[in-house]
Amino acid sequence: MLLAGSASDRTGPGVWQQIELFGLIAIAVSVGGTLLTLGSAPRAIETDANGTVVVGRFGRHRRYAAGVPISVRLVQKHPAGFLSPTAIDVVEVTAGPQRATYFLEEGMLAITDDGRASKRR
């Protein structure tokens, strides 16, 4: 509304203020989306006798205990492309009340016969 109202006066400062505001909002949304996406991509998956630990991109550790059954569901699959040379799986991991969604390289996480998560590579 404000942009349309000030569009009649093309030389006025109102148009440039609206364009600057739009640019700042676009940058903020881009940075927020990038941080959200990177936050969903774990840095490492460690398995041991006590369970599975997913180390997040920013150092957060999420532990899944060994005795709790883990369910891994493929939510979406992204093919390899310009931004990623390998295919990416969006998976949802559920263990008891804990639920998390991760962006993983294709086939990075597998479930063993006894219900434990393990790394494929």
Mean pLDDT along residues 107-111: 65
Instruction: Name, of 44-48, 69-73, 97-101, the range with top average pLDDT.
Output: 97-101
Q: Are residues 49 and 102 in the same domain?
A: yes
What pLDDT, on a 0 to 100 scale, did the predictor assign at position 6? Answer: 47
Chain segment 23-60, per-residue pLDDT in tens: 999 999 999 887 777 666 777 777 778 888 888 777 78
Q: What is the pTM (predicted TM-score) of this model?
A: 0.57
Q: Are residues 28 and 61 in the same domain?
A: no
The total number of structural domains that make up the chain: 2
Q: Which sign, positive or negative, has the C-alpha torsion 85, 120, 68, 60?
A: negative
Mean pLDDT of all residues in the chain? 76
> What whole-number distance in Å separates Cα of residue 3 and Cα of residue 5?
5
Q: Are residues 73 and 31 in the same domain?
A: no
- What range does the domain containing 30 cover? 2-37
> What whole-number distance in Å separates Cα of residue 89 and Cα of residue 78?
6
Q: Are residues 101 and 49 in the same domain?
A: yes
Q: Are residues 32 and 49 in the same domain?
A: no
CB distance 87 to 106 below 8 Å? yes
Q: Are residues 103 and 50 in the same domain?
A: yes
Q: Any residues with CB less than 8 A from the CB of 48 and at least 6 apart, and which?
A: none
Q: Are residues 32 and 56 in the same domain?
A: no
Burial of 28 (0-12, 13-18, 19+ CB in 10 A): exposed
Q: Tell which residue, 71, 51, 53, has the closest CA to residue 61.
A: 53
